[in-house]
């Protein structure tokens, strides 16, 4: 069995994982899914990693840690991998990090705006399409309703500021899973940036940007396969 550490992305909280957590626990795993201080204008990625370490407590030294980081959480996962002895790092619909680059520099360095505009044009999406169209198009209706009842968590811009990203530990296995129907980070964009930055192709599954909400069972199956491959 393993300890899964689930890191949410921007404008979100641990609720992102509420359909995943019970599945992992039912499989016998320990799960830690903290709320990061994303609304605090004084907190950036290092402070997010601090919050994860604090939530782990004594488990921060465990030898069975699997870090799973979604979207902007990829940067927190990268910093965390320098802080705890993770045995596996999994990016989910993530932002492929690059050593020496800040999260704010990521958008321009990857050519995101141009890629997104081209994707929106192919899909026929209107300029400035709303959250439901971009993020929740494949999420079950009842989950969407709950998400909008809860409201969006305010995201501080401090997360995109320096310090720049460290290198991933050379001996840390890294996996990357993306949704084929992701409208926020289009598939062809993800294929290119992950290959360029991390040197391998991502694993693909059906679904959009919010895989933990839209397809928790398939995502957990992927995570469990990665765990077995890593010998955990």
In DSSP terms, 70 is beta-bridged to 92
Report residue 42's pLDDT band, with 50, 70 and 90 as the boundaries. Answer: very high
CB atoms within 10 A of CB 75: 28
List the structure tokens of 170: 């050379």
Q: Residue 195's Cα: distance from chain center in Å?
A: 17
What does each C-alpha distance from 3 to 78, 157, 166, 217 come to in angstroms?
A: 17, 30, 24, 18
In DSSP terms, 30 is beta-bridged to 3
pLDDT in tens, 200-209: 999 999 999 9
Domain at 3-229: CATH architecture: 3-Layer(aba) Sandwich (3.40)
Does the predicted model carry a pTM greater than 0.75? yes
List the structure tokens of 86: 């993770």
Count of residues in the chain = 232
pLDDT in tens, 51-87: 999 999 999 999 999 999 999 999 999 999 999 999 9
């Amino acid at each position: 069995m393993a300890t899964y550490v689930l890191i949410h992305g921007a404008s979100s909280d641990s609720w992102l994982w509420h359909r995943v957590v019970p599945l992992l626990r039912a499989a016998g795993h320990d799960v830690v899914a903290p709320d990061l201080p994303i609304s605090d204008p004084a907190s950036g990625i290092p402070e997010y990693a601090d919050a994860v370490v604090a939530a782990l407590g004594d488990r921060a030294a465990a030898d069975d840690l699997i870090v799973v980081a979604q979207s902007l959480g990829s940067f927190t996962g990268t910093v965390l991998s320098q802080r705890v002895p993770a045995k596996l790092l999994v990016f989910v619909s993530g932002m492929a990090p690059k050593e020496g680059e800040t999260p704010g520099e990521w958008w321009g360095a990857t050519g995101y705006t141009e890629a997104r505009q081209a994707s929106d044009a192919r899909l026929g999406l209107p300029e400035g399409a709303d959250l439901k169209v971009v993020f929740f198009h494949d999420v079950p209706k009842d989950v969407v309703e709950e998400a909008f009842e809860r409201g969006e968590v305010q995201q501080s811009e401090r997360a995109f500021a320096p310090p720049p990203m460290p290198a991933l530990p050379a001996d840390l296995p890294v996996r990357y899973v993306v949704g084929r129907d992701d409208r926020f980070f289009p598939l062809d964009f993800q294929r290119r940036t992950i290959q360029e930055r991390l040197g391998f192709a991502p694993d693909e599954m059906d679904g959009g940007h919010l895989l933990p909400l839209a397809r928790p069972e398939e995502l957990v199956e992927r995570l469990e396969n990665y765990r077995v491959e890593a010998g955990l």
